[in-house]
Structure 1
């Protein structure tokens, strides 16, 4: 597995949150902004962290956090993934780990497993309950160029479909809950509260 300093962890937070009604990552969630949970997990991973933000970045982001602006977030998730991959190429990173800021329940153990499997198989994805290969996901350098060319709203979905079964991580389904709409927030908050009481 690459040394942690050779990894780049990209937290994608440029989305407009239209189904939420805007301001999704700023929404209060267990005493902090929703988006801060995924960012905190990324920072605990022990590797350089990059935030892909929109033109109006959240004002709660740490001042020293490395960030790149996606000037056209409405064009879809693919543009944010492409920006992260270009940064990985420029940094000569040996692994790119991608996660979404609206998934606050992903564990460091899941991220660690993805990196281990991507080092073995070239990429690794999370297996979602509906059978989809998705994010969080990790990619080795041979895939950076393809990622850097992505556009549209499907992100790296097409590439991740090629993940072999041995490169899929199957976390607890709660980890993969995301917040798309306001009524998703109480469910995520309840899981976080239960974790902190355990």
Structure 2
């Protein structure tokens, strides 16, 4: 199977970040001198996978709609990795591992220390289910249904970036500290 497309979700309002005292949208907040979203896009580029950014000017009706827009914009993809734009620690190797584990009728879910994370990967067979998502409900129900049918592969990783997102100023501080330690 050819490599899937990474759908980078960047359409949310970032309300929790602003409510926590953030002065800018969380995706524009700086981590070691670079915006959160830039770290994510750099990791995707370094992974060597095709990608599509979902960032409409007016936002969307929620995560489900964002996923649907991304999948519909890439109908010829062999599968999709659904990557929120607020995961600046995600590693290119993790993206490649999720992509490599995909099959047409399979969903791959990365984990860090037994915590389910992102990006889940969806094989081609899941196109209709993903393309029909609406509102703020993501793909969790699709994963649960697939798990019941034995179509989910849980992929253990050593990448904290699959679970460490930026939703608040406190999260931004944690991510920044991890990045700064990694640079030493």
Alignment TM class, shorter chain as reference:
0.7 to 0.9
Q: Report the count of equivalent residues.
A: 175
The higher relative CO (CA closer than 8 Å, separation ≥ 6) is in: 2
Root-mean-square deviation (CA, aligned residues, Å) is 2.1
Taking structure 1 as the reference length, the TM-score comes to 0.79
Structure 2 counterpart of 1:86: 72
Unaligned 5+ residue runs, structure 1?
56-70
Task: Answer yes or no: is 1:170 the counterpart of 2:156.
Answer: yes
Displacement of 1:153: 2.0
Contact 1:125–1:167 under 8 Å retained in 2: yes
CA distance in 1, matches of 2:48, 2:115: 30
Structure 2 counterpart of 1:145: 128
Deviations 1:114-150 (A, max 9, x none): 1122227522112366754x52011111101110000
Taking structure 2 as the reference length, the TM-score comes to 0.85
Matching residue within 90, 94, 113 for 2:97: 113
CA distance in 2, matches of 1:127, 1:36: 23
CA distance in 1, matches of 2:129, 2:54: 18
Structure 2 counterpart of 1:35: 37
Structure 1 counterpart of 2:141: 158
Unaligned 5+ residue runs, structure 2?
19-23
Task: Answer yes or no: is 1:122 the counterpart of 2:106.
Answer: yes
CA distance in 2, matches of 1:103, 1:34: 7
